């Protein structure tokens, strides 16, 4: 049986692969074992993408508040923050929710 950490890490790896193959990122990586609000970082030519991954699909108000607070302290014009949740009903299994400022 797969443990929670491994399941989450595999999900983060899937998000990194999608960023590199389908979303135009030149660099994408996961912050393994960091326990921070940002699980995956993607860098495109003109913007940075910060992602919180949710394996169960549950997005709390606390999660959104923390990510909005991060947006306020980052002084880069082109930073997009998303929460990605798993959903087996979708073709690629992912829902991307953009966190509005």
Percent of the chain whose predicted confidence (pLDDT) is above 90: 7
Q: How many helices and strands in the chain, by DSSP H and E?
A: 2, 5
Q: Would you state the pLDDT for residue 26?
A: 92
Q: Would you state the pLDDT for residue 30?
A: 93
The DSSP output letter for 81 is E
Alpha carbon of residue 78 to chain centroid = 16
Higher-confidence residue: 67 or 86?
67
Q: What pairs with residue 86 in β-bridges? A: 94
Higher-confidence residue: 11 or 100?
11
Q: What pairs with residue 95 in β-bridges? A: 85
Query: What's the structural domain count of the chain?
Result: 1
Query: Which CATH number characterizes residue 62's domain?
Result: 3.40.1350.10
Question: Tens digits of per-residue pLDDT, 37-64?
Answer: 888 999 988 888 888 888 776 677 888 8
Q: Would you state the pLDDT for residue 21?
A: 87
Residue 92 has pLDDT above 60, yes or no: no
- Reported pTM: 0.77
Q: Would you state the pLDDT for residue 28?
A: 93
Task: Find the domain containing 61 and state its range.
Answer: 4-98
Question: Tens digits of per-residue pLDDT, 62-81?
Answer: 888 888 888 778 766 677 77
């Amino acid at each position: 049986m797969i443990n929670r950490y491994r399941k989450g890490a595999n999900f983060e790896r899937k998000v990194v692969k999608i960023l590199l193959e389908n979303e135009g990122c030149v660099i994408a990586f996961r912050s393994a074992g960091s326990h921070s609000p940002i699980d995956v970082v993607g860098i495109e030519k003109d913007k940075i993408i910060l992602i919180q991954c949710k394996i169960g699909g549950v997005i709390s108000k606390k999660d959104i508040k923390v990510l909005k607070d991060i947006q306020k302290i980052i002084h880069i014009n082109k930073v997009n923050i998303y929460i990605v949740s798993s959903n087996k009903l979708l073709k690629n299994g992912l829902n991307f929710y953009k966190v509005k400022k």
